A and B are shown apart, each in its own frame.
Chain A
Amino acid sequence: MPAAAFAFALLLASILPPPSARAAKIASLVATYSDDEDHDSEGDEYGNALPQPDTTITVHPGVALEIENFGGQISVKTWDKDAIKIAADHSLRDKVILEKTGSALRLKVKSRRFVPAMVRYRITAPRWMKLELSGVNTDIDVEDSKGEVRAETVQGDITVKGSEGFTSLSSIQGEILAQGVRGRLEASSVNQGVRLVNVVGPIFAESVNGGIVIENAESDSVEASTVNGPVTFEGRVSDTGYYRFATHNGCIDVAMPEQSNATVSVSTFSGSIDSSFPVTLKKIKSRRFMTTLGSGRAKFELESFQGTIFLRRPQESRQSCDSDDGKDKDEKDGKTKAESGDETGDE
């Protein structure tokens, strides 16, 4: 009798999940096929049922990875293998589905509770793999990808480090951070800031209610604009470059060497202009000024409807774009070169 009870207890223990598993546990990964033409040739690679905690699948070059997630996190690291390693922490009642459609692998969740699932994906992907990652309440992190990266969230931060290739990052409510990215970069957040550090390549950054900070950029094409927030740019100025920074309510802070070869156009309605090095502002139109540095080949367009536009040397400390937008400081220091409506320079 005791032996039978012990055996029953063992049986129960083998059936019921341990308590910790209820919180977050790698449960199952089921691979299914759509009716694509590669079914036969790649059947061995994707299998039908893959219950292992960490699933590694061989992939051919050119295959993209698509992940749709509701809540949680998507974390993608890369390696040199032509294989993708998938781990997903989630409730036992949810199931992660891997589909192959066309030339893409798609990971999504089938929830058994008819409520959106919370999943923490930990992916190791081939460096070349194109990534399309989207989430609602999901943070997304990508490191060292050399393929195209597209990441989109509603409420979740997006961080991309060390990527090469086209990168598109977009969020409604999350912060955007791109660091060490090479290649064309498009970054936008509606309600948070965008920070781009050590980016090499064309940059397009946008926000509505957040600031944009671009540090140590190496680009010949930079456009950054917001409605309500400051825009800061520090980086190398290419002689053939085009740089446009705009805000409605906030300051523009641009660090550029005095020896730059740039034509700087500055526009404001009720803001002011401040340069830490001598410049001669020529008024070209109402509230639009211009100055030429060196040969003037590069083009800078700086626009703030009602904030201060700062020009400073790269080694000088960043301007604080406080609520008074530096106006008081300007007046105190006597540095303001022009304010709206000033007849500075020639008409």
Chain B
Amino acid sequence: MHDPWIERLSEYLDEGLSRSDREALEQHLLRCRECASTVEELTAVRKRARNLTEARVPAELWSRIESSIAAGRVRSLPSPEAARGQGVRGSGREGTARSFRGGRFSFSLPELVAASLAVAVLSGGGVFAWMRVSGKAPLGSPSVAQAPQSGTAGERPGEAKPLVRQDVAPIATEQARNLAASNATMPGATAPEAVSARRTEATPHEEAIAELRKALAKERDRLDPATVRTLESNLAIIDLAIDQAKRALAADPANTYVKEHLAETMRRKIELLQRATMLASTTGAEGTR
């Protein structure tokens, strides 16, 4: 059984614990070397992430985010009038670039990137430490970026088959179908090849997500196929939501709600990947989960 406190360390560092929980955790830290070590690592990562945000992110990362999203936009966006959101503030690469250079992303995405990097490092340092190396080649399936039924994105040519792709069942619920269907009506709904091409350049948070996916791929055999299907279906749902939010943001770059929503949805994806990875890594001799 994994240490329940390990999942609350981040909350502790965020000062989000109640007083009683904080005191209990501090007592626990005196006894638990692993948790104490993780807290130290987390603190170091946060410090690094903070420095990264202040000193390095604007120059190195925003241009990548910009080009990534702008590339997708150039390929996929219809005219502003055709876009569903009436608040489109312009179209074309220039407008987008100007928006990003103006620092509009600084509202939420820096935090997201810092958090993603922190999570990735944590996952590498914490979760990887627990995991046994299976010896298999990583499957290199960075994302399942569409709901199984949506058919909006294809697999990348020449790339290894995604994680148990063949086992991914259609999303069963009506709502999931609606979500997939709604994707077609979103601004910038694209042909599969366009979506695929747009994703060839990964943003930092996508790289972090890819790292978690690699970790999960290594341990996937420990999970029950039904669990894998469930996880993949839900990751696909989140990917679809992320895709829609990205397109919405491309259509309306000043929309703070969409920015926050995108960040929130990405956080949720990272959390789900973390959870899946931990689930796989803690599944041992007692059987597959």
Contact = CB atoms under 8 A, between A and B. Distances in A.
A227 B268 contact: yes
A341 B86 contact: yes
B1 A249 contact: no
Interface in A221-244: 225, 227-229
Contact of A191 (B87, B234, B241, B252): B234
B171 to A, nearest CB: 7
Contacts of B286: 68, 70, 108, 116, 136
B166 interface: no
Nearest to A285: B256
| Interface footprint category on B | 35 or more
A209 B227 contact: no
A287 B257 contact: yes
Nearest to A246: B264
A106 interface: yes
Contact of A209 (B4, B237, B288): B237
Given A172-B279, A227-B237, A228-B241, A190 B175 contact: no
B261 A249 contact: no
B175 A228 contact: yes
B85 interface: yes
B134 interface: no
B255 A248 contact: no
Interface centre among A70, A134, A208 (most CB of B within 10 A): A208
B231 A172 contact: yes
Interface SS, B side: helix
Interface string B217-250: 0000000101100110110011001001100100
B1 A68 contact: yes
Given A154-B289, A208-B272, A323-B175, A228 B237 contact: yes
Given A184-B18, A305-B245, A209 B178 contact: no
Contacts of A248: 179, 241, 244-245, 261, 265
A68 B248 CA distance: 44
A286 interface: yes
A213 to B, nearest CB: 14
Contacts of A106: 1
A320 interface: no
A209 B176 contact: yes
Contacts of B4: 132, 150
B103 interface: no
A172 to B, nearest CB: 6
Interface in A148-172: 150, 154-155, 166, 172
Given A66-B1, A227-B238, A136 B287 contact: yes
A225 B265 CA distance: 10
A323 B257 contact: no
Contacts of A191: 230, 233-234
A270 interface: yes
Interface in A269-302: 269-270, 285-288
B182 interface: yes
B248 A269 contact: yes
A192 B226 CA distance: 14
B179 A249 contact: yes
B176 A306 contact: no
B54 interface: no
B287 A115 contact: yes
B241 to A, nearest CB: 4
A70 B287 contact: yes
Contacts of A228: 173, 175-176, 179, 237, 241
A132 B3 CA distance: 11
A342 B272 CA distance: 35
Given A190-B272, A209-B237, A306-B182, A173 B230 contact: yes
B261 A303 contact: yes
Interface centre among B173, B231, B237, B279 (most CB of A within 10 A): B237
B158 to A, nearest CB: 30
A267 interface: yes
Given A68-B286, A208-B272, A306 B279 contact: no
B220 to A, nearest CB: 14
B85 A270 contact: yes
A288 to B, nearest CB: 5
Interface in B27-77: none
B241 A305 contact: yes
Nearest to A104: B1
Interface string B259-270: 001001100100
A340 interface: yes
A303 B238 contact: no
A126 interface: no
B145 to A, nearest CB: 14
B97 interface: no
B194 interface: no
Given A208-B272, A305-B241, A116 B287 contact: yes
Interface of A: 66, 68, 70, 106, 108, 115-116, 132, 134, 136, 150, 154-155, 166, 172-173, 184, 190-191, 206, 208-209, 211, 225, 227-229, 246, 248-250, 267-270, 285-288, 303, 305-306, 323, 340-341
Given A228-B237, A248-B244, A340-B86, 6 more contacts: A132-B4, A208-B234, A248-B241, A288-B257, A303-B261, A306-B244
16 contacts: A68-B286, A115-B287, A116-B286, A136-B289, A154-B227, A190-B234, A209-B173, A209-B233, A227-B265, A250-B175, A269-B248, A286-B255, A286-B256, A287-B85, A305-B258, A306-B244
The 9 closest A-B pairs by CB, nearest first: A116-B287, A341-B86, A267-B257, A248-B241, A249-B179, A208-B234, A154-B289, A136-B289, A286-B87
